[in-house]
Amino acid sequence: MTYRTVIYFVTTIRLNGDKRTVGYYFNFHDAQATIEGNHGDIYEEGYYQYALIEHMGSGLYPAPAQSETWYKWEGLRYSQPDANGSYSYGDDAGYKTCDKPEKFARFVGWAIG
């Protein structure tokens, strides 16, 4: 059996290493748009400081990610909630690409591991 499908997993990560895989896509652009657009509030109002795209092949026990693209939340949210109780973020706030955090240097396989 040969698996050739490439999957891009989107995982959000807290500073303490807690994580949640929130989606997967069959192309990098859609995964990137999800993170950079904070679709579905994957930042969860400050709960997940990092986001990660892991590029892996399909299959049982896939090899570690062929590539990783890391993001860190930058910017602030407004301090007062709106009429619906939701917080808004400043125009410059969002996930921005970054180097892999040193504290996670030895970790791989965030989405499936």
Nearest CA to 95 among 74, 69, 68?
74
Q: pLDDT tens across 40-99, in order?
A: 999 988 899 999 999 988 877 777 667 899 999 998 766 566 777 766 677 788 999 999
Place 8 in a pLDDT band, splitting at 50, 70 and 90. very high
- In this predicted structure, the answer to whether residue 1 has a pLDDT above a threshold of 60 is no
Whole-model pTM: value is: 0.85
Asked if 39 and 27 count as a contact pair (C-beta separation under 8 A), the reply is no
pLDDT in tens, 29-45: 999 999 999 999 999 88
**Nearest-5° Cα angle at 31, 30 to 37:** 85
pLDDT at residue number 78? 60
The DSSP call for residue 88 is -
Task: Using CA atoms of 50, 55, 61, 63 in order, give the dihedral in degrees to the nearest 10.
Answer: -110
Residue 98's Cβ-side half-sphere holds a number of Cα atoms within 13 Å equal to: 16
User: CB–CB of 50/12 below 8 Å?
Assistant: yes
* Predicted confidence (pLDDT) at residue 103 exceeds the cutoff of 80: yes
Domain ranges of the chain: 6-104
User: Six-digit token pair at 14?
Assistant: 């807290």
Q: Average pLDDT, stretch 7-35?
A: 96
